[in-house]
Amino acid sequence: MLQTSELLQLAQQHQPALLLTGRETQRSQHELASAVRRINLRQSGLELMSERESSGEHQRGLALSLTVPIFDNGDTELSALQGRVQLSLNHHQQRLQQTGALIQNALSDIQSYRQRIDLLTENEIPRYQRMMQLSVQEYNFMLRGTFELLTVADRVLDARLRHIDATEHYWRAWTTLENLVGTHIQESDND
């Protein structure tokens, strides 16, 4: 029996939209990391400096660099990148949650239509067919009329139509599930 959590894992590996939002998140995270590294070079701090004098002598010592807060030293860019990362993450999570919910719905539909098909296949259609057999016997025995017989035949056809309808909906739900997961799923996995 298929489980939502397993299918969601599959979806994360195969669903194009999830892959896209995932990669978008990664890309914005890389951008942010790169910007952080770059901007950090311009940050205030105490450093060990080494300088070569014209005499060829090396002077070593502590250096103090200061950033004056009246200038933008990359804070805006970092904030924007951080916001983009958060947005990407949110998009991804939202997509993930939405996919999970839709998978659950699709599974529920599949299960429901499967039960309906089973009910029709194993119970209702044989029952109506049996009713029709008995009705034919009764008709041929002059116990009931043609119109009553046709009414029973109509029920058999109606049950078959409902079977076709349920089968169509079953495969539509299955297709929806495969779209959500992004890959082919063996039907036998649902047994």
Partner 1 sequence: MINRRQLLLGSAASVLAGKLSLDEASAQTPVTPSGNTQDYVPVITPNGRTLPWRMRDGVKEFHLIAEEFDHEFAPGTRIKAWGYNGSTPGPTIEAVEGDRVRIYVTNKLGEPTTVHWHGLLLPFGMDGVAGLTQPSIKPGETWVYEFPLIQHGTHMYHPHADEMIQMAMGMMGMFIIHPRIAEAKPVTRDYALLLHNWAIHPGTYRPDPSIMTEFDLWTIKSKVFPAIESLVAQTGERVRVRIGNLSMWNHPMHMHGVQFEVTGSDGGRWPEAQWRKEVTEIVGVGQTRDLEFIAVPGDWPIHCYMSHHTMNAMGHSLPNTIGVNQRQIARRIAALVPGYMPMGEHGMSDHQQHIDAGHIQGPENTLPMMGGQGLFGPMEMGGMFTLIKVRDQLDGASDPGWYQPPAGTQAYKVDVVPEDLPS
Q: What is the binding site for partner 1 (CB under 8 A)?
A: 132-134, 136-147, 149-150, 153, 157
Q: Which is nearer to partner 1, 94 or 133 (CB)?
A: 133
Nearest-approach distance from CB 166 to partner 1, in angstroms: 22
Residue number with CB closer to partner 1 (144 or 172): 144
Instruction: Give how far Cα 66 sits from Cα of 40, 47, 63, 76, 171, Å.
Output: 13, 11, 10, 19, 67
The distance of closest approach from Cβ of residue 162 to partner 1 in the complex, given in angstroms and rounded to an integer, is 17
Q: Quote the least distance from Cβ 157 to partner 1, whole Å.
A: 8
Q: Pick the closer one to partner 1 by CB: 128 or 174.
A: 128
Q: How far is the CB of 145 from partner 1 (least distance, A)?
A: 4
Nearer to partner 1, 40 or 140 (CB): 140
Q: Which residue has the tokens 């299918």?
A: 7
